[in-house]
């Protein structure tokens, strides 16, 4: 059966004609997997007026792209997108389908895999190939992030999985790279879409957008209270940064879950990550260790966070941050 299935697909999520970064990010590891297996890497783009996204996907590493366009795909709906992807897979039979673990991807992926009667490994943080079986080795956190499980789907095809945003970085954009764009005419009747978009309300989760932040100032239990985050926000505002936090902060009710970084929150990879009063539990570190530069502020010199930090400051954050703000303002002036 598996011989009938070929190539690796990456679903590039779009909304209102714009691509979400995670699709382009996933083309990077998928390119390596495709090269190892000696197969083609295909980007799948579904949306309204998104031909430019298909072209960009090729420039980010895909050999070719499959494009489905229609008015019904301007905004995500379970019925329209799941139907379109299911029909594409039925026709082209990819060996592997990789989807970003966004809210939409986490909704669509399981529905499509159930229709195909295949498995889906959710919320992955690493991808590889098992040399003995040739299967994709999907790695994801389990037991609250205390263990990492590697899962394979040896019997059914396609192999499917969702992968967290910001785990991988986009490959360099090759503006002169070309590839075939295959247009597929798939439409879903309005009465077959059981949900209707009435109004879009900007949620906190959208406003935070940790995955695409260049700078994150994150607070942990050492901040002491919800009020203590005023200092964190002041530094973040000064740097044009996004505010993050650890799980302990969310559990204490000091910050909304949308700000949480870690295995049970968001995985991030900013240019600069400033950890304030964060001890450095493995669950948190797994969500931010891909940052280009990590700066840790903690009064406990034995805190594990210093083991992953590029720069460490031992001291009370309420002394260190105001001094940092003052110094930064003088430099700016």
CATH number at residue 277: 3.40.50.1220
Annotated binding site: which residue ranges?
Answer: 221, 246-247, 260-264, 277-284, 298
The total number of residues shown for the chain amounts to 333
Instruction: Write the pLDDT tens digit of every residue in 32-67.
Output: 999 999 999 999 999 999 999 999 999 999 999 999
Same domain, 170 and 316: no
Instruction: Tell me what the pLDDT averaged over the chain comes to.
Output: 92
Query: What is the structure's pLDDT at 2?
Result: 64
Final residue before a domain boundary, out of 139, 161, 192: 192
Burial of 219 (0-12, 13-18, 19+ CB in 10 A): buried
How many domains does the chain contain in total?
A: 2
How far apart are the C-alpha atoms of 331 and 333, rounded to whole Å? 5
141 and 11 in a common domain: yes
Q: Over 80: is that where the pLDDT of 232 sits?
A: yes
Please check whether residue 197 lies inside any domain of the structure. Answer: no
Q: Do residues 211 and 188 both lie within one domain?
A: no
Cα separations (Å) of 51 from 9, 165, 191?
17, 23, 26
Gap between the Cα atoms of 298 and 285, Å rounded: 15
SS (H, E, C) the chain: CHHHCCCEEEEECEECCEECHHHHHHHHHHHHHHHHHCCCEEEEEEECCCHHHHHHHHHCCCCEEEEEECHHHCCCCHHHHHHHHHHHHHHHCCCEEEEECCHHHHHHHHHHHHHHCCCEEEEECEEEECCCCCCEEEEEEEHHHCEEEEECCCCCCCEEEEECCCCCCCCCCCCCCCCEEEECCCCCCHHHCCCCCCCCCCCHHHHHCHHHCCEEEEECHHHCCCCCHHHHHHHHHHHCCEEEECHHHHHCCCCCHHHEECCCCECCCCCEEEEECCCCCHHHHCCCCCCCEEEEEECCCCCCHHHHCCEEEECCHHHHHHHHHHHHHHHHC
- Tell how far CA 43 is from the center of its chain: 16
pLDDT score of 144: 61
Region 301-307 average pLDDT: 94
Write down which residue in 160, 192, 224 finishes a domain. Answer: 192
* In a shared domain, residues 170 and 317: no
Do 30 and 8 meet the contact criterion of CB atoms below 8 Å apart?
yes
Output phi, psi for 297, to 5 deg: -125, 115
Structural domain includes residue 232: yes
Is residue 138 in some structural domain?
Answer: yes
Rg (CA), the chain: 21
Same domain assignment for residues 39 and 13 = yes
**Where a domain ends, among 138, 159, 192?**
192
* Residue at 302 is within a domain: yes
Are 72 and 179 part of one and the same domain? Answer: yes
User: Do 301 and 325 reside in the same domain of the chain?
Assistant: yes
Whether the pTM exceeds 0.85: the reply is: no
Q: What is the pLDDT, as a whole number, of residue 120?
A: 94
CA 188 – CA 158 distance, rounded (Å): 23
Binding residues for FAD: 221, 246-247, 260-264, 277-284, 298
Contact criterion met (CB below 8 Å) for 159 and 118: yes
Does some domain include residue 47?
Answer: yes
Q: 153 and 223: one domain?
A: no
CATH of the domain at 97: 3.40.50.620
User: Quick check: 134 pLDDT over 60?
Assistant: yes
180 with 209, same domain: the answer is: no
Q: What is residue 72's predicted lDDT score, i.e. its pLDDT? A: 93
Residue 198 belongs to a domain:
no
- The pLDDT value recorded for residue 137 is 94
Strands 14-15 vs 18-19: parallel, antiparallel or unpaired: antiparallel
Residues spanned by the domain of 250: 204-332
Find the angle CA(102)-CA(282)-CA(233) to the nearest 5 degrees: 65
In a domain, 172, yes or no: yes
Mean pLDDT over 134-143 rounds to 86
44 and 178 part of one domain: yes
272 and 145 share a domain?
no
**Domain presence at residue 199:** no
* pLDDT on residue 264: 79
pLDDT digits (tens, 9 = 90+) for 2-18: 678 999 999 999 988 99
Same domain, 106 and 221: no
- Indicate if the pLDDT at residue 145 is higher than 70: no
Percent of the chain surpassing pLDDT 90: 75
- pLDDT of 202 reads 63
């Amino acid at each position: 059966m598996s011989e009938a299935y070929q190539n690796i697909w990456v679903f590039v999520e779009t909304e209102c004609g714009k691509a979400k970064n995670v699709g382009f990010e996933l083309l990077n590891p998928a390119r390596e997997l495709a090269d190892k297996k000696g197969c083609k890497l295909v980007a799948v783009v579904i949306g309204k007026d998104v031909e430019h996204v298909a072209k960009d996907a090729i420039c980010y590493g895909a050999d070719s792209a499959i494009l489905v366009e229609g008015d019904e795909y301007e905004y995500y709906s379970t019925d329209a997108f799941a139907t379109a992807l299911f029909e594409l897979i039925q026709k082209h039979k990819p060996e592997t389908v990789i989807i970003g673990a966004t809210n939409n991807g986490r909704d669509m992926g399981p529905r499509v895999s159930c229709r195909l009667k295949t498995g889906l490994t959710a919320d992955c943080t690493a991808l590889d190939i098992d040399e003995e079986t040739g299967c994709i080795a999907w790695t994801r956190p389990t037991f609250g992030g205390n263990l990492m499980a590697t899962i394979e789907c040896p019997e059914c095809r396609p192999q499917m999985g969702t992968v967290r945003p910001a785990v991988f970085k986009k490959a360099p954009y090759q503006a002169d790279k070309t590839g075939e764009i295959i247009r597929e005419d798939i439409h879903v009747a309005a009465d077959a879409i059981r949900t209707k978009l009435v109004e879009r309300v900007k949620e906190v989760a959208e406003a935070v957008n940790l995955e695409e932040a260049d700078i994150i100032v994150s607070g942990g239990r050492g901040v002491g209270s919800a009020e203590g985050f005023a200092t964190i926000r002041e530094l973040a505002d000064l740097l044009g940064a996004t505010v993050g936090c650890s799980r302990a902060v969310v559990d204490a009710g000091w910050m909304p879950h949308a700000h949480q970084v870690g295995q049970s929150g968001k995985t991030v990879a900013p240019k600069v990550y400033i950890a304030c009063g964060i001890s450095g539990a493995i669950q948190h570190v797994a969500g931010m260790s891909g940052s280009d530069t990590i700066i840790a502020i903690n009064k406990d010199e034995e805190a594990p966070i210093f083991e992953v930090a590029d720069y460490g400051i031992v001291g009370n954050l309420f002394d260190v941050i105001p001094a940092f703000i003052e110094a930064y303002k003088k430099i700016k002036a």
